Amino acid sequence: MFLGTGTSHGVPMIGCECAVCTSADPRDKRLRTSIIVETSDGTTLLVDTTPDLRTQALRHGLRRVDAILYTHAHADHLFGLDDVRRFNALSGHAMPIYARADTVQEVRQRFGYAFVGGKPQGGGLPELRLWTIGGPFCIGTQEIVPIPILHGRREILGFRFGRFAYLTDCSAIPASSLELLTGLEVLVLDALRRRPHSTHFSLDESIAMAARIGAAQTYFTHMAHDLGHAETSAGLPAGVSLAYDGLSLAIGG
């Protein structure tokens, strides 16, 4: 499920009265970008903890998270981490966190109060267990393949779960990563806006990359307020759609 499909500002943006920010179409209301993946063995995986996490959890009745995967440590993907303490209370367990080594370090720095003396804390603080991603790994029975991508000059991660791949905040995909994206049923890809941007694919770049990867269906996410859902969707090629908050997909193994 898509918990959020918006850029770092969200849509509507504060103080904006453009046609998309004032739209009555619920698909134009975009919280910050995040997804939930429910695997075949019932494991619930959260990708990124946005500043909107509490709102997203309440809106979609999210009561369980078994592990969190981070694409990178920018504020719009990380700063809802403190709300994880509620999932600690619901489960009675520490939360496993999986991320690149640089993201693990940033979590420790930005949420240092949760690691007093270098050790995970609890008792009103988020209780976290940090794991560094070094290659493909499993959570439960689900294999997860990290996909290195470029967010401007910064290398971050996308993830592949079986025939589903999730690549947000993406401006380029190395050839070695493209080799990891064959045979997809569903691809989720960054598409910020129509105009070029230094750290994100533009709409045209995303359309071209979707055609190159060749998934059966591609959904765009991390969208700014100049991509109205209905208007933009009308101009997309077959097999390409805009995601929206609350969209759920059923994907084969």
Domain span at 26: 2-242
pLDDT tens-digit series, residues 169-199: 999 999 999 999 999 999 999 999 999 999 9
On whether residue 250 sits in a domain, the answer given is no
* pTM, entire model: 0.96
Split at pLDDT 50, 70, 90, the class of 110 is very high
On whether residue 217 sits in a domain, the answer given is yes
Q: List all residues 6 or more positions away from 32 whose beta carbon is below 8 Å from its beta carbon.
A: 4, 6, 7, 8, 10, 50, 51, 52, 76, 77
On whether residue 180 sits in a domain, the answer given is yes
On whether residue 224 sits in a domain, the answer given is yes
Q: Looking at the 3D structure of the chain, how many domains does it have?
A: 1
Section 218-226 average pLDDT: 97
Mean residue pLDDT of the chain comes to 95
Q: What angle do CA 215, 170, 140 make, to 5 degrees?
A: 65
Residue 116: per-residue pLDDT: 74
Section 10-15 average pLDDT: 98
Q: Write the CATH number for 87.
A: 3.60.15.10
Whether the pLDDT of residue 127 is over 70: the answer is yes
On whether residue 41 sits in a domain, the answer given is yes
pLDDT tens-digit series, residues 14-70: 999 999 999 999 999 999 999 999 999 999 999 999 999 999 999 999 999 999 999
